[in-house]
């Protein structure tokens, strides 16, 4: 522990730089200032006294020790500020700027965020801007209130300024749905949209971007479960999600809630390697009515190997898949061995029982997670089904083996947004 707040104080939005120095705001009703933990000395001190502001938010500390934040005097105009021993105001409310949303600061000492122009009305123009000094900025994106030709209806409030100067942001789209984007104002990459079959929704929490162009964000997967995704404009991966099993100090836990509450808390963070930090609600793996509180985790980046085969108890060692009728008499509860040959995700494919010899599949339940069990609604009529693994790069594994131990054919590629299949995976 690097600092303990006094009773009644709240510590908000910590940031950390490459040296391990940490910056955060302390407040009760008003700010007590911005504090910094110095990793080299082990001391935490008030770095910025609240002389010119009564509230502060999002204190981002750079590798050079500069701190970018939003501050305002009591009841006064908010401003984006950079502190390097002295304070510089990069942008302030007043004149053309009606409102400054929470900013993001990178290691070059630039500050980015959403700016509302003209008035605080929701119909006023919004822009994403990057400031590199007092009053000096570049416009990254404009919504349709400011440009009738814009593809964006509006932007979410939080952004992420990457080390290379690009900005990750989330927007509602004129064409419908929502999307996550990474832009330098000239070239804009589409990281993900809700048109992707892997994604049912994109959450209202800021995305996070690193210098290599990886962007992580929260959303809902195709199965309707909370999930964290990461993409670079070419590939999109479900990094972790609701019902996944994770290691904890209490043993293996499930990311889950005892009710329909969201399982993840706040925004996520990503580093230069692509490791993702997040917090999640936890339950025992077999009883989500017992609450184990919340945990802070890191999902480590790695190279995606070929997805493994799903155990069948014969050709592939492990437990055979089972299925039971759910209590409602309609759904089926499918259980498979996700422990012997763990994969990053699983999909369930359905086909007409009359076509089982050719393994002709017609529909699928996607993004079932890594828990090894799922309750799904099968299509009407006599149906066969099978489980296939998927790796972190979105490559699908085989669809099982025939009685001679040979891989079954498959025409199901693409049903879960997967366009590539590999039979090279092995079971440990």
Each residue's pLDDT tens digit, 306-328:
788 999 888 888 899 999 999 99
What contacts 384, CB < 8 A, 6 or more positions away? 350, 351, 352, 353, 355, 356
Confidence of residue 234 (pLDDT cuts 50, 70, 90): very high
Range from 254-258, 273-277, 408-412 carrying the lowest mean pLDDT: 408-412
Nearest-angstrom CA–CA distance, 131 and 157: 17
More confident site: 19 or 68:
68
Burial of 260 (0-12, 13-18, 19+ CB in 10 A): exposed
More confident site: 272 or 413:
272
Range from 128-142, 185-199, 249-263 carrying the lowest mean pLDDT: 249-263
Asked whether residue 303 carries a pLDDT value surpassing 60, the answer given is no
Sign of CA dihedral 118, 120, 125, 129: positive
Nearest-angstrom CA–CA distance, 266 and 260: 17
Asked whether residue 121 carries a pLDDT value surpassing 90, the answer given is yes
Instruction: Report the pLDDT value the prediction gives residue 302, as an integer from 0 to 100.
Output: 66
Nearest-angstrom CA–CA distance, 363 and 341: 25
Instruction: Report the pLDDT value the prediction gives residue 165, as an integer from 0 to 100.
Output: 95
More confident site: 341 or 242:
242
| Domain 93-243 listed as CATH 2.40.37.10 | no
Instruction: Report the pLDDT value the prediction gives residue 113, as an integer from 0 to 100.
Output: 98
Instruction: Report the pLDDT value the prediction gives residue 120, as an integer from 0 to 100.
Output: 95
Over range 238-251, report the average pLDDT. 88
Structure tokens at 355: 């076509």
Asked whether residue 292 carries a pLDDT value surpassing 60, the answer given is yes
Residue 384: strand, helix, or coil: strand
Over range 123-149, report the average pLDDT. 97
Nearest-angstrom CA–CA distance, 341 and 370: 11
Place of tokens 């019902």: 243
Locate the domains of the chain by residue range: 93-243, 322-421
What contacts 187, CB < 8 A, 6 or more positions away? none
Average pLDDT, the chain: 91
Structure tokens at 121: 């009305």
For the chain, the distance separating the N- and C-terminal CA atoms, rounded to the nearest angstrom, is 40
Give the H or E element holding residue 242.
none
- Sheet strands (E) in 174-321: 178-183, 188-193, 199-202, 208-209, 215-221, 226-231, 236-241, 245-248, 251-255, 269-270, 276-283, 294-299
Range from 83-87, 178-182, 300-304 carrying the lowest mean pLDDT: 300-304
| Domain 322-421 listed as CATH 2.60.40 | yes
Asked whether residue 90 carries a pLDDT value surpassing 80, the answer given is yes
The whole-model pTM stands at 0.71
Q: Which of 413, 398, 409, 411 lies closest to 308, judged by CA?
A: 398
Nearest-angstrom CA–CA distance, 118 and 122: 11
Over range 250-269, report the average pLDDT. 90
Instruction: Report the pLDDT value the prediction gives residue 27, as an integer from 0 to 100.
Output: 93
User: Please, are residues 266 and 280 in contact by the beta-carbon 8 Å criterion?
Assistant: no
């Amino acid at each position: 522990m690097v600092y303990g707040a006094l009773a009644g104080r709240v510590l908000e939005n910590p940031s950390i730089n490459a040296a391990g120095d940490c910056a955060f705001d302390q407040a009760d009703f008003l700010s007590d200032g911005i504090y910094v933990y110095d990793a080299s000395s082990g001391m935490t001190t008030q770095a910025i006294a609240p002389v010119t502001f009564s509230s502060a938010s999002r204190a981002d500390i750079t590798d050079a020790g500069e701190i970018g934040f939003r501050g305002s005097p009591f009841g006064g105009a908010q401003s984006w500020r950079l502190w390097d021993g002295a304070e510089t105001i990069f942008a302030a409310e007043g004149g053309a700027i009606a409102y400054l949303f929470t900013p993001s600061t990178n290691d070059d000492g630039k500050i980015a965020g959403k700016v509302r122009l003209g008035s605080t009305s929701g119909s006023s123009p919004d822009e994403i801007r990057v400031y590199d000094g007092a009053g000096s900025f570049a416009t990254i994106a404009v919504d349709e209130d400011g440009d009738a030709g814009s593809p964006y209806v509006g932007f979410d409030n939080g952004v992420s300024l990457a080390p290379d100067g690009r900005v990750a942001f989330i927007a509602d789209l004129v064409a419908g749905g929502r999307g996550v984007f990474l832009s330098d104002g000239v070239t804009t990459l589409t990281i993900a949209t809700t048109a992707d079959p892997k994604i049912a929704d994109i959450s209202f929490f800021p995305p996070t971007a690193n210098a290599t162009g990886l962007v992580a964000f929260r959303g809902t997967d195709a199965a309707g479960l909370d999930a964290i995704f990461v993409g670079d404009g070419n590939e999109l991966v479900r990094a972790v999600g609701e019902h996944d099993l994770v290691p904890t100090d209490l043993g293996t836990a499930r990311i889950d809630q005892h009710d329909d509450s969201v399982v993840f808390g706040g925004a996520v963070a990503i580093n230069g390697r692509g490791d993702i930090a997040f917090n999640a609600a936890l339950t025992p793996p077999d009883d989500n009515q017992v609450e184990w509180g919340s945990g802070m985790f890191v999902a480590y980046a790695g190279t995606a190997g070929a997805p493994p085969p799903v155990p069948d108890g014969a050709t592939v060692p492990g437990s055979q898949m089972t299925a039971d009728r759910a209590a409602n008499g309609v759904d089926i509860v499918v259980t498979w061995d996700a422990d012997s040959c763990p994969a990053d995700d699983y999909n369930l494919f359905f086909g007409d029982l009359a076509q089982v010899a050719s393994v002709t599949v017609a529909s699928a339940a996607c993004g079932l997670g890594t828990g090894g069990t799922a309750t799904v609604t099968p299509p009407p009529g006599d149906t066969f089904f099978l489980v296939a693994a998927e790796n972190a790069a979105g490559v699908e594994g085989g669809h099982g083996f025939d009685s001679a131990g040979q891989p079954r054919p498959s025409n199901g590629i693409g049903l879960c947004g997967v366009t590539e299949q590999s039979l090279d995976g092995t079971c440990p």
